[in-house]
Chain A
């Protein structure tokens, strides 16, 4: 990429606010754009207020596409509107979040616009005028370095890797209205229902803290122990594969090769041995705590803190200790860091912009 190139971000929003990943992409875009501009694309219905938020977090230009046909997200509507916009502007680099909507849209756009695309990027950087991305492959047994050629480049970036761009009060952006000439007949998917997964207070892929349970938990009832700790920590609850296969928890809990890839700040693995297929989904976590009674468990080989002990003894103690800490922190006037991306997520209000 020539040093003089604008960077575009496809903004996603939920409940009328940008998702956390959007702030992360804006932060990354700012670094990559250097002296050039950061553009954000917001598509949906009733989203005019988003523009201010995107501006405050670093966008210089916000392209707003408003239409009832753009919310909720559908591939056809978004591919047409965002596709035409990108085709006209021909930016060198477009950043998209690795979310359900981002992974649905980005490859379709790449095919339509004959762009280079790299998914699951763990980093995106400009090196010697080339854009280079890294991504985990082969069940995370290797990290691939991939270089883009010339032309349009699309990077689908993993959540929770880049710090969110901070808000600067009073910062404004140029707002451009994107003409939306959608023919309803060209939209071949209809969203007939969106039902919130109630137990998911924070989606696993966005969570800063995850408390995860494995076969060592012995039964579905014991996941309540995890729920309790997670509740105090504001964490999400996940699992290895056996609890899913045994029907203790739904399949969307699963973390790993055939489950989700997560990148939290803190991952607490309870009664999980640490099979390669599980590590594939969580070994990118910044800090890993393993609680396992088997001192030989492979998870200890990668754990930042390895607690050798019985999960049924350790978990209640840990929950109590964290409760005391959180209580003390609140008494001392400290408040938990707020997470704008996960606020007001009620499922029904979900929209995937861009």
Chain B
């Protein structure tokens, strides 16, 4: 089983963000970047499959120089190889363009399975996985909570509204993973040492045969802080009276009961 896992380097969600003065992005200075939470589960799943069936785990990212750290984290967890698509033109891509670029890189790696996180925690788009599947001409299963590999196919569980769906999908396929799929391991000390020595293959778009970066179909106009929620009314005192007030307020003021 040769597996490719797409990973992204994203701001740690624990820390507050500052919107840039031009509103077109966030201040990166002082931010802590980490391997995207869902991608961590993707790497974990790939490692577990490799431990059972053998094969290799190759990481791919498209991102700025700092994104190599996401690759290093995945290598330290136990991945074998890493490809870093890096060049300024990436900054102008939309998610469909990013998927196109990742697909071009993945085409050069013979593999049976492509894993992605179901979304990245910075822009929440959940576009790259299915778009990548389209560009690779592969079937897909999204937001998968359980994956079992069979002979030439895989069984995937996914949660849909009010139900759990069990799918059988022909391999090779693109699977995007949901958090419930596994508990991701921490990188081990020997893993961290090995990760430092593992060469990361750097590729430009030209290397991938992409002469003109795909034009973006959507444009970020700006970021604004979310509308401030007013702290509303405090209800304190004798519980029965408080509850009585609350229910009246929900009914008469908020009109939600």
Contacts and interface: CB of A to CB of B under 8 A. Distances in A.
Interface of A: 14, 19, 72, 74-76, 79, 99-101, 103-108, 110-112, 114-120, 132, 135-149, 151, 153, 188-197, 200, 202-203, 205-206, 209, 233, 251-252, 257-258, 265-266, 276-277, 280, 283, 286-289, 295, 300-310, 313-314, 317-318, 321-322, 325, 345, 347-348, 350, 352
Interface of B: 11, 13-14, 16-17, 19, 26, 37-38, 94-96, 99-100, 121-135, 139-143, 145, 155, 158-170, 173, 179-180, 216-227, 229, 231-236, 239-240, 242-244, 246-247, 249-251, 254, 256-257
Nearest to A150: B217
A196 to B, nearest CB: 5
A144 B244 contact: no
B246 A111 contact: no
Contacts of B155: 192
Contact of A307 (B127, B217, B235): B235
A347 B131 contact: no
Contacts of A108: 130-131, 133-134, 140
Given A189-B168, A325-B257, A141 B225 contact: yes
Contact of B219 (A147, A200, A314): A147
Contacts of B127: 107, 110, 117, 119
Most buried by B among A266, A300, A321: A321
Contacts of B126: 103, 107, 119-120
Contacts of B251: 325
B224 A143 contact: yes
A190 B139 contact: no
A353 to B, nearest CB: 13
Secondary structure dominating the interface of B? mixed
B135 A111 contact: yes
B226 A350 contact: no
Contacts of B125: 119-120
Given A108-B130, A117-B127, A252-B159, 11 more contacts: A103-B142, A107-B130, A112-B134, A141-B16, A143-B223, A145-B221, A191-B165, A191-B167, A258-B179, A287-B250, A306-B231
A350 B246 contact: no
Given A104-B142, A136-B226, A191-B167, A314 B242 contact: yes
A148 B218 contact: yes
B123 A137 contact: yes
Contact of B226 (A76, A141, A203, A288): A141
Contacts of A265: 256
B165 A193 contact: yes
8 contacts: A116-B96, A149-B216, A190-B168, A287-B250, A300-B234, A305-B246, A308-B236, A347-B162
